[in-house]
């Protein structure tokens, strides 16, 4: 299937940092926007760009992240508004590469590259369910030999 992903396609999203997106080890109480949360929001921005612009929201097609190469540059507090940006910078079949960034109104807080792979959700689920069964069979085999 041809998805006709356009190089240069962009998406911008705004979120507000929530207390459950922060680190918990620096000091007691609300902390700073965590790197995993920032990366998750960057990935979702890329996913939504593909889903809304190229994969038809109602279709069986979506995407999963495969590579993340991001620098977290500056700390951001709970309640701050974050502007997330994603731009398609390359495609190769169902592999799509993005430039990503996040800003908090005062400064750039993160930037880098992200790669996603377009999947057919029912086929992906079928393969995943088969793997779950194989892992369960392996676990049962290991338990019976112990």
Please identify every residue annotated as catalytic. Answer: 35, 43, 72
Residue with tokens 């057919």: 120
Q: How far apart are CA 78 and CA 70, in angstroms?
A: 21
Q: How far apart are CA 97 and CA 56, in angstroms?
A: 19
Ramachandran angles phi, psi of 113, nearest 5°: -130, 155
DSSP letters for 13-39: EEEE--GGGB-SSSSSSS-BBPHHHHH
């Amino acid at each position: 299937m041809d998805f006709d992903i356009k190089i240069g396609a962009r998406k911008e999203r705004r979120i507000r940092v929530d207390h459950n997106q922060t680190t918990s080890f620096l000091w007691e109480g609300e902390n700073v926007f965590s790197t995993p949360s920032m990366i998750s929001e960057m990935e979702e921005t890329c996913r939504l760009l593909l889903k809304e612009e190229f994969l038809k929201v109602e279709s069986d097609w979506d995407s999963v992240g495969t590579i993340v190469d991001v620098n977290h540059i500056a700390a951001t507090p709970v309640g701050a508004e974050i502007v997330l940006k994603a731009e398609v910078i390359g495609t190769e079949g169902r592999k799509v590469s993005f430039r990503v960034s996040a800003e908090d109104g005062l400064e750039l807080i993160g930037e880098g590259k992200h790669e996603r792979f377009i999947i057919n959700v029912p086929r992906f689920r079928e393969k995943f369910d088969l793997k779950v069964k194989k892992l369960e069979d392996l676990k049962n085999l290991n338990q019976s030999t112990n």
